[in-house]
Amino acid sequence: MGRSSTIKKASRFDVLLLGDSGVGKTSLLMRMMDEKSIELKKTSNTAGPECVVETMLPDTCIRLNICDILGQKCSIHLRTYYKNCQGALLVYDIQNRKSFERVQDWVFTLREEISSELVIALAGNKVDMENNRHVSKEEAIQFATAHNCLFLETSAMSNENVSYTFKAIVLALHNQQEERNKVAKNQVSSNEVDPDPEGRKKKRGRYFFPCSNC
């Protein structure tokens, strides 16, 4: 039996790929597309900085619509890209401190413009250039932890943590959606609860308890 017959549901998420020009974010995306050892595949191209990838979780097909912002500055014009997204991958170059500062600005902007619960992953790219590092791993971890972001260090050149980064985003988005669905289901169930169970019990009691004159 084919794997497609076991899929119970499908989910779609819009994910932004952000970072200054030259940090290697597009290279990370292309490297992920070329990775054959994981179940990620490029399914289509679009006219513009977007692509679609799919990955499999147990019983679930996840589709990511990834929009590469191409290093543009944060402005009102970018709201058309990110106003409906559910996640973001923010990439900086560990050799370039300004690119790390820009990523921090993006975290604040996205949290304010979209949602405080937006799934955000920080990727410190070009760890193959460790000898020229200008952003420490400890500092990046501290920032990511303080602002509830995923964090990984990557290398598009050596393929370090590339597939794992995208899979971490997929899993975080999926878990967040499952939790929201659970909350919504519980709310529906609570709305269906008898609003006056005690009152009904009292009414039913008239038929079960004999009067004093019986």
Sheet of 87-93, strands arranged across: 40-45, 50-57, 60-68, 9-18, 87-93, 119-125, 150-153
- Residue 121, beta-bridge partner list: 89, 150
**Which residue is it, tokens 């679009």?**
46
pLDDT digits (tens, 9 = 90+) for 105-152: 999 989 988 888 999 999 999 999 999 999 999 999 999 999 999 999
Q: What are the chain's domains?
A: 3-189 (3.40.50.300)
Residues in the chain: 214
pLDDT band at 12 (very low <50, low <70, confident <90, very high): confident
**Which residue is it, tokens 């300004």?**
98
pLDDT digits (tens, 9 = 90+) for 63-89: 888 888 765 555 555 666 667 789 999
Q: Which 8-state DSSP code applies to residue 72?
A: P
- The tokens for 152 are 């990984």
pTM: 0.76
- Residue 61, beta-bridge partner list: 10, 56
Mean pLDDT, the chain, as a whole number? 78
